[in-house]
């Protein structure tokens, strides 16, 4: 099963490597100026991180774990005059488990790709509605950086899903807040921005313990997608 996960994960991540030819850190350095719209750039980064909040409304059971590999892409907003590419891509590794004492899921996620690094921790609370739907409320804190800026990201989300056979469609809403500060630039600036997002996705479990999923996200200023694979055991 681990071999299968590695093979399928590579099929998801390799396209990111192929498309994301521009280093995120270098791209920022090359196009940032004192007059750049740093706020629009920050909103795109917030969405890129926040995409990873959920891929189902059902929580992990104790003593199990959910371990996955995902990648997300955000279509750069029209006001983002720093990014030279149409999309920004970043894969994430995620892991979560239920802590029975507090009946809450603890989740970790991280990325180190193309000049962009991020590490985050979150809490998820799940409850069942009418034995048909699972709903999860979640909150995350992430610390991300490149050579030229750092950002503190907070996200809150709610997602609902229903499982029919091996299919789990889900709908979610989220809120992202990010405080980004440039560093080592000729003119250093900072910005704090927030935005709501809406997500629709589908998780498929073709084999026991194994799943794949895909989702589309929309905000007021950008759009994103996410795909991934994982093991839930």
Range of the domain at 111: 2-232
For strand 116-129 and strand 223-232, is the pairing parallel, antiparallel, or unpaired? unpaired
Q: Domain total for the chain?
A: 1
Integer Cα distance of 37 and 44 in angstroms: 12
> Does residue 14 have a pLDDT over 60?
no
Integer Cα distance of 90 and 80 in angstroms: 18
> Does residue 7 have a pLDDT over 50?
no
**Mean pLDDT, residues 175-179 taken together:** 98
Supply the CATH number for residue 153's domain.
2.40.160.20
Tally of helices (H runs) and strands (E runs) in the chain? 3, 10
CA-CA distances (angstroms) from residue 34 to 9, 25, 95, 205, 222? 40, 17, 39, 48, 23
Q: Tens digit of pLDDT for each residue in 64-88?
A: 789 999 999 999 999 999 999 999 9
pLDDT band at residue 58 under the 50/70/90 scheme: confident
């Amino acid at each position: 099963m681990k071999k299968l996960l590695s093979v399928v994960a590579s099929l998801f991540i390799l396209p990111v490597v192929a498309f994301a030819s521009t280093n995120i850190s270098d791209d920022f350095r090359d196009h940032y100026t004192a007059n750049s719209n740093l706020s629009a750039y920050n909103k795109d980064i917030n969405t890129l991180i926040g995409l990873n909040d959920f891929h189902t409304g059902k929580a992990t059971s104790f003593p199990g774990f959910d371990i996955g590999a995902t990648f997300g892409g955000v279509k750069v907003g029209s006001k983002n005059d720093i990014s030279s590419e149409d999309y920004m891509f970043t894969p994430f590794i995620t892991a979560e488990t239920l802590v029975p004492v507090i009946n809450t899921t603890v989740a970790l996620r991280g990325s180190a790709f193309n000049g962009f690094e991020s590490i985050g921790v979150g809490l998820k609370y799940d409850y069942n509605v009418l034995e048909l739907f699972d709903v999860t409320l979640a909150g995350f804190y992430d610390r991300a950086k490149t050579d030229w800026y750092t950002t503190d990201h907070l996200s809150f989300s709610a997602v609902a899903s229903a499982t029919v056979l091996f299919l789990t469609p889900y709908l979610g809403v989220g809120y992202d807040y990010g405080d980004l500060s440039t560093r080592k630039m000729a003119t250093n600036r900072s910005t704090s921005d927030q935005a709501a997002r809406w997500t629709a996705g589908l998780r498929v479990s073709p084999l026991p313990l194994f799943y794949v999923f895909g989702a589309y996200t929309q905000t007021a200023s950008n759009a994103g997608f996410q795909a991934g694979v994982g093991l839930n055991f």
